Amino acid sequence: MLLVIAITFWTQSRVPALNDKAQVGDRINISSIAFDVVYPVIESQPLYERAYKAAINWGYTNWKGMTFGFLLASAFITLLQSLPKTLGSKNRFLNSLIGLGIGSPLSVCVNCATPIAQGMIHAGTRLEVSLAMLLSSPTLNPIVLTIAFSLLSFHVALIKVLVSVFFIIIMVPLIIKLSGHLNITPSSTEDIEAQANLQNPTTNNPQYNLHLQPQNWLGAARLSIASFFKNLLYIMKFTLPFMIIAGFLGSLLIEALPTGSLSALNMEPLTLFIIAAIGVFLPVPIAFDVLIVNILLSSGLNIGLASALLFSLGIFSIYPALIIGRSISIKLSLIFFASVLFFAMAAGTLTHYIDKNISLATKISIENELTQQSPRISFQEAIDTCEIFKASNRDKQCLNTLLLSDIFSNANHDVCTLNSKDSKDATKNQPYLQMCQQILSFIDTKKLSVEKDDMSLCNAITTDKLKDECKIHYIRSRSKEYTSLKPCLKVSSVSGQRYCRAKVVADRIQSKSIESCHLNLSNDMNRQCIDNLNAHIASAFGELDKCEILTTPNAQSICRSTVFSLKISKLHEYSICKKLTSNKERSTCEDQATMQKALQQRKPS
């Protein structure tokens, strides 16, 4: 019976559903704490309506897994009741390992595993085995692990797995011991009969003989089926009301939360605590933790906060907390809740620290590699190139532009040297040398302001234009965190503010998320932002025809411009201009092609 239920569920429901989630990835539809939508939840609806509709959606998403949980729990009780010994050993940690081995292949969410755990406890299975099974089933099953390592950064997924394994094998036995709850081993049938015979003398009358009589197959089947349905009734009576309560409370919490941009949240202790607590509370379906965290990371959520949510969402929830509190002890339930919360915060902090170091090490490695490479042109070549603009007094402007370009962005201060020993040349080139040193100092300050997270460092720059450039660079480095464009007001010049706003929006659009435009913009600016976002998404195909599917002429124009700019600059595909139907767009395209050819051949003429 146990095998039939398990095989039917795995082959007909669980494995196909998880495979679908793995293939869909971050394109999956998620509503509140559910995958399926029976009743659409709209933000304009009152809270109570959103809460009960979200609860119904949650129930519909979980009904297959919960049904399996009830049936498998009943089968577990029926099987374990017929065994003379409890499942487990005297070694608490070995018991947790056994529970992990049972739970991992089950592949059900923590809510669906709760009736199974309750059934195992009721049948006399040791607590470590039952609770380790409860926690490992949603977090360590093979398909969810595959999804996690496919969608998330390797170190994020690895930290989740390592912390989960440590918590299940090491912490579960310690938590049970700390709670003071002892495993109670049910007496064997021989012990029960021996105790009964002490009170009632044994007779030869078979009616009063307490020894078990051997059963035939039909009798055993009848007894098993009767026990199964009796246990099923017990499990449903004990756990179903709490399941309904947990689903409603989780839906009420998620709908009551503010809907602001998650990218604005910083890695702070209070924020980390709240995020982890929400994750521990919510009763989510299987794989929900991995998929929602992947989406939130794409929307700009801090990786430390995302990691805390990744650990806390799937491993525990209010539902098993209620069941543990009812069937075992409230103290054990509270300690479990607090322990999961603590480890979620620890996982988030660890991930934030490691990710920061990985990013910094990668950045330093790239910069060192680029620094070791000689600039494509020397400082002297830059001066000579700009000589052609001397007649119009634009030679310094030309040199300033070159020094601020990518050609010199990773050069060290040795680049500001000239080989000429002629005193006249030295005097003539002195303004150029001062400009070079000033710009390289600006580049260093610009990088330092981001590394130290301190925009005030830009105030040390004496040139107003470069000071604004430094501030814009700092603001852009944190563009995903903003909920408005107010940070750009810290730039002194009006033109600089306008440039800053445009760049922040452009940087956010790179994520291809609708939250990119959640910046409290005016109607016109918001419409322009959405056009840019749609154009950016469509232009990724690199085909002009894809631009025509966009709904506004402005978005189509931006898309076409982006496509031919990329074709010219990256692929040197100059024939793209002939495919444009607009004379204005074709003229702009041809000008870009001419400019790119000049750069490629290094012939300004």
Q: Which two structure tokens, joined as six digits, stand for 360?
A: 């910094």
* pLDDT-based confidence at residue 447 (cuts at 50, 70, 90): confident
* pLDDT-based confidence at residue 196 (cuts at 50, 70, 90): very low
Instruction: Report pLDDT digits (tens) over 360-419.
Output: 777 667 666 655 554 566 777 788 888 888 877 888 888 888 887 766 666 666 777 776
Number of residues in the chain: 605
- The conformational region for residue 542 under phi > 0 = left, psi -120 to 50 = alpha, else beta, is left
Please state, in angstroms and rounded to a whole number, the distance separating the CA atoms of residues 245 and 250.
Answer: 9
pLDDT for the residue 556 = 92
Q: Which of 114-118, 365-369, 464-468, 512-516 has the lowest mean pLDDT?
A: 365-369
CA 219 to chain centre: 54
* pLDDT-based confidence at residue 7 (cuts at 50, 70, 90): confident
Amino acid at 593: A
Query: How many Cβ atoms sit within 10 Å of the Cβ of residue 195?
Result: 10
CA 444 to chain centre: 33
CA 7 to chain centre: 32
* pLDDT-based confidence at residue 159 (cuts at 50, 70, 90): very high
Q: What is the DSSP string of 386-411?
A: HGGGGGGT-HHHHHHHHHTSTTSTT-
Residue partners of 408: CB distance under 8 A and separation at least 6: 375, 382, 402, 415, 439, 440, 443
Please state, in angstroms and rounded to a whole number, the distance separating the CA atoms of residues 17 and 441.
Answer: 57
- Pair 384, 425: CB distance under 8 Å: no
Residue 214 scores a pLDDT above 70: no
Please state, in angstroms and rounded to a whole number, the distance separating the CA atoms of residues 397 and 65.
Answer: 69
User: H helices within 127-216, ranges in order?
Assistant: 127-139, 142-151, 154-166, 172-179, 189-199
Backbone phi, then psi, for 307, in 5-degree steps? -70, -40
What percentage of the chain reaches a pLDDT higher than 90?
A: 20
Q: Which of 90-104, 247-261, 393-407, 538-552 has the lowest mean pLDDT?
A: 247-261
Angle value at C-alpha 356, between 352 and 359, nearest 5 degrees: 140
Q: Which two structure tokens, joined as six digits, stand for 307?
A: 């990691």
* pLDDT-based confidence at residue 285 (cuts at 50, 70, 90): confident
pLDDT for the residue 80 = 66
Residue 115 scores a pLDDT above 50: yes
Query: Averaging pLDDT over each range in 21-25, 205-209, 428-432, 498-502, which range is the top one?
Result: 498-502
pLDDT for the residue 468 = 92
* pLDDT-based confidence at residue 602 (cuts at 50, 70, 90): confident
Please state, in angstroms and rounded to a whole number, the distance separating the CA atoms of residues 31 and 301.
Answer: 18
- Pair 416, 437: CB distance under 8 Å: yes
Mean pLDDT of the chain: 79
Query: How many Cβ atoms sit within 10 Å of the Cβ of residue 540?
Result: 14
Comparing C-alpha atoms, which of 441, 414, 418, 413 is closest to residue 428?
418
Please state, in angstroms and rounded to a whole number, the distance separating the CA atoms of residues 558 and 532.
Answer: 7
User: To which residue do tokens 């839906």 refer?
Assistant: 251
Instruction: Report pLDDT digits (tens) over 254-280.
Output: 777 665 555 567 788 999 999 999 889
pLDDT for the residue 374 = 45
Instruction: Report pLDDT digits (tens) over 497-519.
Output: 999 999 999 888 887 777 788 88
Instruction: Report pLDDT digits (tens) over 41-73.
Output: 777 778 878 888 888 887 777 777 777 777 876
pLDDT for the residue 21 = 52
pLDDT for the residue 589 = 92
Three-state DSSP class for 218?
helix
Three-state DSSP class for 31?
strand
| Three-class secondary structure assignment of 545-557 | HHHCCCCCHHHHH
pLDDT for the residue 203 = 46
pLDDT for the residue 290 = 83
Instruction: Report pLDDT digits (tens) over 120-158.
Output: 887 778 889 989 988 998 888 887 888 888 778 889 999
Query: Averaging pLDDT over each range in 139-143, 172-176, 281-285, which range is the top one?
Result: 172-176
- Pair 167, 139: CB distance under 8 Å: no
- Pair 143, 104: CB distance under 8 Å: no
pLDDT for the residue 424 = 56
What percentage of the chain reaches a pLDDT higher than 70?
A: 78
Instruction: Report pLDDT digits (tens) over 314-330.
Output: 888 888 888 888 888 89
pLDDT for the residue 339 = 94
